[in-house]
Chains A and B, each alone.
Chain A
């Protein structure tokens, strides 16, 4: 079954938001006696019925191990797995499907590059540049890999707006810098970085760039060729797909030059006890039985987003972000952190001196799911001199009513806490 065939009809020019909400069964439930307002999308998104169906469908009628099986089911499963790869290629407009490596998620993708690039190309005293707005998953893997070769992880500092600019990156490049990693969209602030200009800057120094796209792909059309990044990482579960599946895009030239990350079945060409030759891209990076149902679920998520329309999603969310920004500012004493624009779907804020934990706990009582704390972003919290924030993050199924519920609740909470 082609998942797109089961969709209800939707106008592609603007979102039929009620129809979209009905595609996500979990949005119909109540929390603490209130209809759920789910604003924790930056942590994980909810899943449309077509994604759930695709996973059940895979296990119901296709399940078999991929590659090298001569029997028909194995062939069907391999076809489904490779079709998912092609869907992802199309989704991020990569040139070749073998530049798409399936991983467990963004963290796994970053670890793959850190664990193979650093020992291959860096030595003592060489530098890896990350930024202050990176998620810990785009800092810690570099620290671990750097330590093994006595390389150094250095940081690009940002201003209060939280935006990473090419000139800030340029200012930190030295002749020892061998790799740069930067996020596309800040997971704490939602601020969008101009990845293309950062890529140009980094490439002028002859250095590759890895982009953490986890918070970008749910909100905007991404074209990795236009961005000209060397590596692009994202997770299925933040873009309406299942957990446990993620993507590493790498330019062919770089992927070819990297050694395998993990050894095992599926990634070899020929194994003898004396030595092994490795398979071609992308299989040399996919040791062991892959997450086949996850890949199929991710394909369904990609097709769902394409059906709604990537441009339509971006246009709808741009309007909703502006509405949210204005609405939040109407709450007395509320302070939004980071720049208002360009911003994708994520708001971090503080209400007066109220502790984020208190605000989040009370919002939960009112059926509103937000996240509180440092959001795996401690260097940024240090930079902003705050212990944490309340983070409300949007997805394509959120509405103005959700934002109004949040603002009403915040007004109640403010009275209780301040």
Chain B
């Protein structure tokens, strides 16, 4: 499914949603809800080949490309991580591979979740973003070669 909005537009939408909550616990509750709404990743993909290595919570990421766009499906065994994964899938999946590769992802900072992506948080999210962008960059290069 091709999203109607650009990455930046979806990011704006997420920032606005989170701005509705004053209390941090409410933001986390919302994040957990997002995780609950994320469609389940087929169990077949929850294996090491698709695992983004993180010490505490596991993230599994499946990606594929189609007509210059890159698609993602992902899951985590921790609910907060699953919510963050859900946000990233919502922002990036189905977008043109070049846009994904270059996405600055400012929304992470703007909703105050940067600390979940810092190096000492071993939840695999940082590695997940890295892998998403690498997949997109590789897809872009392949497309260019085909031209």
B77 at the binding interface (Cβ < 8 Å) = yes
Sample of 5 more A-B contacts, CB < 8 Å, known A361-B80, A362-B28: A354-B79, A355-B79, A357-B78, A357-B81, A357-B123
Q: How far is the CB of B117 from chain A (nearest CB, A)?
A: 13
A358 at the binding interface (Cβ < 8 Å) = yes
Q: Is A388 within 8 A of B56, CB to CB? A: yes
Task: Tell me which residues from 24 to 60 in chain B have a Cβ below 8 Å from any Cβ of chain A.
Answer: 24-25, 28-29, 32, 55-57
Q: Is A365 within 8 A of B25, CB to CB? A: yes
Please measure, in the bound complex, the distance between the C-alpha atom of A374 and the C-alpha atom of B80, giving whole angstroms: 18
- Contact digits for A23-51, partner B, Cβ 8 Å, 1 yes 0 no: 00000000010000000000000000000
Q: How far is the CB of A356 from chain B (nearest CB, A)?
A: 7
Q: How far is the CB of A415 from chain B (nearest CB, A)?
A: 9
Please measure, in the bound complex, the distance between the C-alpha atom of A328 and the C-alpha atom of B56, giving whole angstroms: 23
Q: Which residues of B contact A366 (CB under 8 A)?
A: 25
Please measure, in the bound complex, the distance between the C-alpha atom of A417 and the C-alpha atom of B77, giving whole angstroms: 12
Q: Which residues of B contact A147 (CB under 8 A)?
A: none
Q: Which residues of A contact B29 (CB under 8 A)?
A: 416
Q: Is B28 within 8 A of A355, CB to CB? A: no
Q: Which 6 A-B pairs have the closest CB atoms?
A: A355-B78, A357-B78, A357-B57, A357-B56, A373-B56, A365-B24
Q: Which residues of A contact B56 (CB under 8 A)?
A: 356-357, 372-373, 388
A412 at the binding interface (Cβ < 8 Å) = yes
Please measure, in the bound complex, the distance between the C-alpha atom of A388 and the C-alpha atom of B78, giving whole angstroms: 12
Q: Is A417 within 8 A of B24, CB to CB? A: no
Considering the complex, give the chain B residue whose CB is closest to the CB of A356: B56
Evaluate whether A358 and B80 lie within 8 angstroms (CB atoms) in the complex, with A372-B56, A373-B56 already known: yes
Q: Which residues of A contact B32 (CB under 8 A)?
A: 358, 416-417
Q: How far is the CB of A333 from chain B (nearest CB, A)?
A: 15
- Contact digits for B91-123, partner A, Cβ 8 Å, 1 yes 0 no: 000000000000000000000000010000011
Please measure, in the bound complex, the distance between the C-alpha atom of A374 and the C-alpha atom of B122, giving whole angstroms: 12
Q: How far is the CB of B6 from chain A (nearest CB, A)?
A: 30
Q: Is A362 within 8 A of B78, CB to CB? A: no
Q: Which residues of A contact B116 (CB under 8 A)?
A: 361
Q: How far is the CB of A360 from chain B (nearest CB, A)?
A: 8
Task: Tell me which residues from 338 to 362 in chain A have a Cβ below 8 Å from any Cβ of chain B.
Answer: 354-358, 361-362
Q: Is B79 within 8 A of A358, CB to CB? A: yes
> Which one of B24, B55, B78, B122 contacts A358 once the chains associate, using CB atoms below 8 Å?
B78
A-B contact pairs, 22 of them (CB 8 A): A355-B77, A355-B79, A356-B56, A357-B56, A357-B78, A358-B32, A358-B57, A358-B78, A358-B79, A358-B81, A361-B28, A361-B116, A365-B24, A365-B25, A365-B28, A372-B56, A373-B55, A373-B56, A374-B55, A416-B25, A416-B29, A417-B79
- A-side interface residues, number (CB < 8 Å): 18
Q: Which residues of A contact B123 (CB under 8 A)?
A: 357
Please measure, in the bound complex, the distance between the C-alpha atom of A416 and the C-alpha atom of B100, giving whole angstroms: 32
Q: Which residues of B contact A412 (CB under 8 A)?
A: 25
Q: Which residues of B contact A355 (CB under 8 A)?
A: 57, 77-79, 81
Q: How far is the CB of B51 from chain A (nearest CB, A)?
A: 13
Q: Which residues of A contact B77 (CB under 8 A)?
A: 355, 387
Q: Which residues of A contact B25 (CB under 8 A)?
A: 362, 365-366, 412, 416
Q: Is A357 within 8 A of B24, CB to CB? A: no
Please measure, in the bound complex, the distance between the C-alpha atom of A358 and the C-alpha atom of B32, giving whole angstroms: 9
Q: Which residues of A contact B81 (CB under 8 A)?
A: 355, 357-358
Please measure, in the bound complex, the distance between the C-alpha atom of A74 and the C-alpha atom of B103, giving whole angstroms: 58
Q: Which residues of B contact A361 (CB under 8 A)?
A: 28, 80, 116
Q: Is B78 within 8 A of A32, CB to CB? A: no
Considering the complex, give the chain B residue whose CB is closest to the CB of A372: B56
Q: How far is the CB of B139 from chain A (nearest CB, A)?
A: 31
Q: Is B28 within 8 A of A32, CB to CB? A: no
Q: How far is the CB of A370 from chain B (nearest CB, A)?
A: 13
Please measure, in the bound complex, the distance between the C-alpha atom of A387 and the C-alpha atom of B28, giving whole angstroms: 23
Evaluate whether A32 and B80 lie within 8 angstroms (CB atoms) in the complex, with A357-B56, A357-B57, A417-B32 already known: no
Please measure, in the bound complex, the distance between the C-alpha atom of A412 and the C-alpha atom of B79, giving whole angstroms: 15
Please measure, in the bound complex, the distance between the C-alpha atom of A404 and the C-alpha atom of B3, giving whole angstroms: 48
Please measure, in the bound complex, the distance between the C-alpha atom of A388 and the C-alpha atom of B56, giving whole angstroms: 8
Task: Tell me which residues from 260 to 319 in chain A have a Cβ below 8 Å from any Cβ of chain B.
Answer: none
Residue of A357, A361, A374 with highest tally of chain B CB at under 10 A: A357
Q: Which residues of B contact A358 (CB under 8 A)?
A: 32, 57, 78-81
Considering the complex, give the chain B residue whose CB is closest to the CB of A362: B28
Please measure, in the bound complex, the distance between the C-alpha atom of A372 and the C-alpha atom of B81, giving whole angstroms: 14
Evaluate whether A357 and B28 lie within 8 angstroms (CB atoms) in the complex, with A372-B56, A373-B56 already known: no
Please measure, in the bound complex, the distance between the C-alpha atom of A357 and the C-alpha atom of B28, giving whole angstroms: 13
- Contact digits for B72-92, partner A, Cβ 8 Å, 1 yes 0 no: 000001111100000000000
Q: How far is the CB of B8 from chain A (nearest CB, A)?
A: 28
Q: Which residues of A contact B78 (CB under 8 A)?
A: 355, 357-358
Evaluate whether A32 and B79 lie within 8 angstroms (CB atoms) in the complex, with A373-B55, A388-B56 already known: no
Q: Which residues of B contact A373 (CB under 8 A)?
A: 55-56, 122
Q: Which residues of B contact A32 (CB under 8 A)?
A: 24
Considering the complex, give the chain A residue whose CB is closest to the CB of B79: A358
Please measure, in the bound complex, the distance between the C-alpha atom of A388 and the C-alpha atom of B122, giving whole angstroms: 13
